[in-house]
Structure 1
Amino acid sequence: MDVSLNKTVAAGAAMLLAGLGGGWALSQWMAAGDRGGTAPPAHAAAAGTAERRVLYWYDPMVPTQRFDKPGKSPFMDMQLVPRYADEAGAGAGPAVAVSPQAAQSLGLRVATADLRVLQPAVDVVAVVGLDERDVSIVQARAPGFVERVHARAPGDVIAAGAPLAEVLHPDWLAAQREYFAVRATNDETLALAARARLALLGMPVGLIERIEADGRPQALTTIVAPSGGLIAELMVRRGMTVSAGATLARINGLGTVWVEAAVPEALAAAVAPGQRAELRLVAFPGEVLRGRVAAVLPEASRDTRTLRVRVEVPNPGGRLRPGMSGQVRLAGAGAGAEVVTVPAEAVIRTGRRALVHVLDAPGRYRPVAVELGAEIDGRVAVLRGLAAGQQVVASGQFLIDSEASLQGLAASAAPAAAASAAEHATRGRVVELDDASITLEHAPVPALQWPAMTMPFQLAQPDLVRGLKAGDAVRFRFRQQGDEHVVTAIERDDAGARR
C-alpha cells in the first residue's frame, strides 16, 4: 500500500509541473501576440513582410479602380486595401484561380466554343385559311329562270362537275330551234352560221355538242361546278330570275391551304418568301406538315405589332379545314454561314454587355467581353471575342464572376467592328503592364472632365506595349468601349521623360 501511494503522489506531481510549464508558455505566446508579434521570431516576420510586394491598392467596393499608394478611398469612407503580388491571380495575368477541389464543389462545368451553322427559326401560332388564289366563280351566261336547285349549301365540299342548279334560258332555247330548222334545209353554210350563233349566245361547247348528238333542243341547262372545293357562297335559289353575268356561286379549292402566321416585327428580318415551314396542328398531334412561305404581307398590324406571313401547305384528301389552329416553325432562309457558338447558359448578360469566362489553363479562368448574335436551340452565336476551340464555363460562372469582381479583374474587350467611339489623347507614366492591360498615371483629360489620376486601361492589341516598362513616360490615345477604356495607340514620350 505504501508503494502504491508513493507512485500516485509522484504521478500527480509530474502532472502539476507539466501544467505549470504549459501555462507559462501560453502566457508568453499571448504576450508576444499583444505586442503585435507572431509566434515566429521577429527577424523571420520582417523577412516575410519584405517578400510581399504590393502591386496596387484598391477599394473592395470599386475593385476595377486601382491606386499606386495607400490612403482613404475616394468612393467610400474606408481605407484602400493592398493587392499583393503573391496573391492568387495577382501576378499571373487577369484570371481567377480555382483549385480542382473547389471546382468540383462548385459544380463548374466547361463547354467548347465550336463552329456551327445557326439558321434562325421562328415559332409562332397560326390559323388555317382558304387559298384565295384557288377560287372559281359560277355565273349565268344568259338571262333565265331557275327551275331547280340541287341540295347544296354554303360550307359544303363538292367535286368538280357537281350539279348546282337547273336554269331555263329562253334565248338559248329559241336559238337551238332555229339551228335545227336551218340544218334541216341541208344548207351547210347556213347551218354553220346558226351553230356559231349558239356559241355567241354563251352556250358551252359541251352543251352544243350534246344537243347535236341528241338531235333535239334542250330546254333546261344544268349549271355545274367548274372545280372542286368548298362552297364559300351560294346565291342561286329556286324560282329566281337571273341576268347575264349574275354570280350564282363562289367555290374555294382545297388542294392547298393558306396558313396565316403572326410574326413579331422584331423577327421580320428572319422571314422571307420561299422559306421552309413546319406546321403542327392541334387536330393531328405528333404529325408534322410541311410547306413554304408564299408571301410576307407588306403591312404590319398596328395593334399587335406583328407581320402577317402566308404559308402554303398541300392538303391531300382535304384534311386541313379552315379555322384549324396550330403552330408554325419557320426555318432560316438560305444555307447560312458557320459562326462560333457557345451554350446560351455560358453567357452572363449585364445589360450593357455580355461576358463569358474562358478556361486559359487548368484551374485558371479569365473574363472576356463578347458580342452576341442569334440564339437558336440553346446555342448563341458569338460574333466577336471568342475563337473556335476555346473552352468557356457553362455552369458555376456566376461564382467565378463574383470572385473576378472582388479581385478587380476587368474583362478583356472583344475586337471592335469599327473605331466609331471618340478617341482621346493625353500623356502619362507606366505604373504596371501585362499582355492585356496597362495601368497609367496620366495627366488630366479635359474632354472627359478627368483630373490627373492613376487607372487601368485595356489594350486594343497586346503588342502595343512591346518595349515599354514600368516608369516609362508615354503619350497614348484611348477610347471608351462599354464599361472599359481601351488604349488604341501608345508610344514612349522622351520629351516628357526629360521634363
Structure 2
Amino acid sequence: MTFDLSHRARLGLAAAAIALAAGGIGYGIARLDRDQAPQQAAENGRKILYWYDPMVPSQHFDKPGKSPFMDMQLIPKYADGAAGEAGVKIDPARVQNLGVRVATAQRGLLSSGLSATGTIDFNQRDVAIVQARAAGFVQRVYARAPGDVVGAGAPLADLLVPEWAGAQAEYLAVRRTRDAALTRAARQRLALLGMPAGTIAAVERSGRPHNVITVSTPTGGMIKTLGVRQGMTVTAGQTLAEVNGLGTVWLNAAVPEAMAGRLRPGQAATAMLAAWPGERFAGRVAMILPDVQAESRTLTVRIELANRGGRLRPGMFASVDFGGASRSALLVPSEAVIRTGKRNLVMLALSQGRYQPAEVQTGSDAGGQTEILAGLAEGEKVVASGQFLLDSEASLSGVEARPIAGATTATVASPALYEAVGRIERIDAKGVTLDHGAVPALKWPAMTMTFRLGSPALARGFKAGDRVRFGFDQPPEGPTLLRMTREGVR
C-alpha cells in the first residue's frame, strides 16, 4: 500500500512538472507573440493600416503575403499616407530616382505673339501680260529667257505688222489735205488698230509709215513665261510674255487653325530668313485665306513684304513672328501641365514629401510657358519633370485631384484666384467699376460690375477709360480686387 501511494505521488509530481513546463512554454510563446505583434503593426515606427496590391488598390488585406491577383508581394499602406491627409507621400529616394524637378508658379510677361513658318511667293497682284496688238511676223527677238529679271521697258521682240503700213499711209495722205475732221478720223482708226500712241507720234514726226513695232515690258520684274521666237507668226491678242513684279513678295505662312482667332488683316508681322541671318523683314498680314488645309489643319496667312534689292526670292523658307504686346500672367512650365483630353492637371509638390494632382484652367502658351487662368495660386510649387509617374501613384492610392474651386491662396502675397481684362468705368471710395470680359472659371459672362479694393493703393495712377488686367478673389464681402495693371504692363 505504501508503495502504491509513493508511486502515485511520484506520478502526480511528474504530471505537475509537465503541466508547469507546458505552462511555461505557453507563456513564452504568448510573450513572443506579444513581442512580435508590434513589429507586424508597425515598421520603422510607421503604423500599417492594411496591405494591398497596387494593381487592385481597392482590395485590402489584413496581413502581408503574395497577391491573389498578380505574382507579386502585397504592399503595406501606412497610416501617414491615409486619405485624411492631402496628397500621396513618396519616399525621397524614389523621388530622386524619378528625376522629379519642381518649379514655382509665378507671374511673368507672356507674349501674345504667334510664330509660324512659311515660304516666299510671287505677289500675284503684280503681274503684267504682254500681248500682240495686231497680227504680224516676228522679225527679231532679244536675248531674253524665262527667269530673267528685266526692268520696265525692256525690249522683247520686233514685230512686222503689214496691216499698219496701209493705215499709216492713208493717215499721212489725209493729213496733207489739212481737213481737220478727216485727219481726226484717220488718226482714231490707227488707235483702234492697236497702234501705240508713241508709234502714231513717230509717224507724224517722220512723215512715213512705221510698220515695225518693238514689243517691250510694261513693268519691271521676272519673266515667268516667254512665248515669242524668231520667225514665228503672231495673231492679235496672242500672249507673248508674262512678267511678275518683284517690288513686293508674299510670305504664305501656315498657322494652326486653333490660333486663327488671334490674327487679323493689317496685323504687323516680322519675317526671318536663313539667307539673311540676324535681319528682320517687316510686313503686314494682307489676307487670311478662307480655306483650311485638311491634312495639316492649318490656315494660310498671306503677308506682304517689301523686297528692296530683290533679296527675297520666291521659294525661300522663312519663319514669321506675328507681333503682339506682352501681358502679365500666372505662368508655369508647359511641361508641367498634364493634358488628359477632358481636363488639365498639374502635380502639386506639398510639404513633407507629399504630392497631389490639381485641376487647372490653362490659357495661352508661349516660350515654353503656359498661362494658368484658375486652379493655381502664385507661389505654389508644381512638378515639372516626372509628374506623370507621380500622378499614376496618386491614382493607384485613390488620391483625388484638387478641384479648381479648391485652390488655396493662404500662403501667397497676391492671392488672385481669377483674372480678367476690362476697362475702368469709374473709380470712387466704394471701389472700381469695370466693364470686363468673361471669367470662364466662374462661368461669368462679360458684364459691368463694381469690385471692392483690397487696398486703396491699388487704384492710384489709374483713371476712367484705362484698359487693365486685374485679379480678384471672392470673400464673403464680395468680389475684391487684389491686383490691377494696365494691359501689357507687368
TM-score (structure 1 length as normaliser):
0.59
Q: Look up the match of 1:114.
A: 107
Q: Tell me, yes or no, if structure 1 residue 341 matches structure 2 residue 338.
A: no
Q: Do the aligned residues in 1 keep the contact of 2:272 with 2:319 (CA within 8 Å)?
A: yes
* Residue from 242, 247, 258 that aligns with 2:250: 258
Q: Look up the match of 1:488.
A: none
The amino acid of 2:319's aligned partner reads V
* Residue from 373, 376, 379 that aligns with 1:386: 376
CA gap 1:392/1:53 in 2 versus in 1, 3 angstroms: closer
How many residue pairs get aligned? The number is: 374
Q: Look up the match of 2:198.
A: 206
Output the CA distance in 2 between the equivalents of 1:65 and 1:373.
36
Output the CA distance in 2 between the equivalents of 1:34 and 1:321.
93
Q: CA RMSD in A?
A: 4.8
Output the CA distance in 2 between the equivalents of 1:185 and 1:350.
93
Output the CA distance in 1 between the equivalents of 2:296 and 2:347.
39
The amino acid of 1:132's aligned partner reads Q
The amino acid of 1:201's aligned partner reads L
Q: CA deviation at 1:178?
A: 2.5
Q: CA deviation at 1:106?
A: 6.9
- Deviation string 1:274-326 (CA, Å, 9 cap, x unpaired) is 555444444334444344444444455566666555443322111223333x2
Output the CA distance in 2 between the equivalents of 1:386 and 1:91.
22
CA gap 1:410/1:54 in 2 versus in 1, 3 angstroms: farther
Q: CA deviation at 1:133?
A: 1.8
Q: Look up the match of 1:162.
A: 154
Q: Do the aligned residues in 1 keep the contact of 2:107 with 2:328 (CA within 8 Å)?
A: no
Q: Do the aligned residues in 2 keep the contact of 1:118 with 1:337 (CA within 8 Å)?
A: yes
Q: Tell me, yes or no, if structure 1 residue 189 matches structure 2 residue 181.
A: yes
Output the CA distance in 2 between the equivalents of 1:155 and 1:350.
53
Instruction: Identify unmatched segments of 5+ residues in structure 1.
Output: 1-30, 417-459, 462-499
Q: CA deviation at 1:107?
A: 6.5
Structure 1, 359-368 or 338-347: larger mean CA deviation = 359-368
Give the secondary-structure state (helix, strand or coil) at the position aligned to 2:120. Answer: strand
Q: Do the aligned residues in 2 keep the contact of 1:292 with 1:311 (CA within 8 Å)?
A: yes
Give the secondary-structure state (helix, strand or coil) at the position aligned to 1:35. Answer: helix
Output the CA distance in 2 between the equivalents of 1:150 and 1:60.
88
Q: Look up the match of 2:400.
A: 410
Output the CA distance in 1 between the equivalents of 2:404 and 2:269.
36
Q: Tell me, yes or no, if structure 1 residue 123 matches structure 2 residue 116.
A: yes
Q: Do the aligned residues in 1 keep the contact of 2:335 with 2:384 (CA within 8 Å)?
A: yes
Q: Do the aligned residues in 2 keep the contact of 1:89 with 1:97 (CA within 8 Å)?
A: no
Give the secondary-structure state (helix, strand or coil) at the position aligned to 2:314. Answer: coil
* Residue from 329, 337, 356 that aligns with 2:320: 329
CA gap 1:75/1:34 in 2 versus in 1, 3 angstroms: same
* Residue pairs, 1:23-62, within 5 angstroms: 35-37=32-34, 59=52, 61=54
The amino acid of 1:381's aligned partner reads E
Structure 1, 270-279 or 209-218: larger mean CA deviation = 270-279
* Residue from 336, 345, 355 that aligns with 2:345: 355
Q: Do the aligned residues in 2 keep the contact of 1:137 with 1:251 (CA within 8 Å)?
A: yes
CA gap 1:82/1:175 in 2 versus in 1, 3 angstroms: closer
Q: Do the aligned residues in 2 keep the contact of 1:118 with 1:381 (CA within 8 Å)?
A: no
- Deviation string 1:452-475 (CA, Å, 9 cap, x unpaired) is xxxxxxxx99xxxxxxxxxxxxxx
Q: CA deviation at 1:104?
A: 13
Q: Do the aligned residues in 1 keep the contact of 2:109 with 2:326 (CA within 8 Å)?
A: no
* Residue from 110, 121, 137 that aligns with 2:129: 137
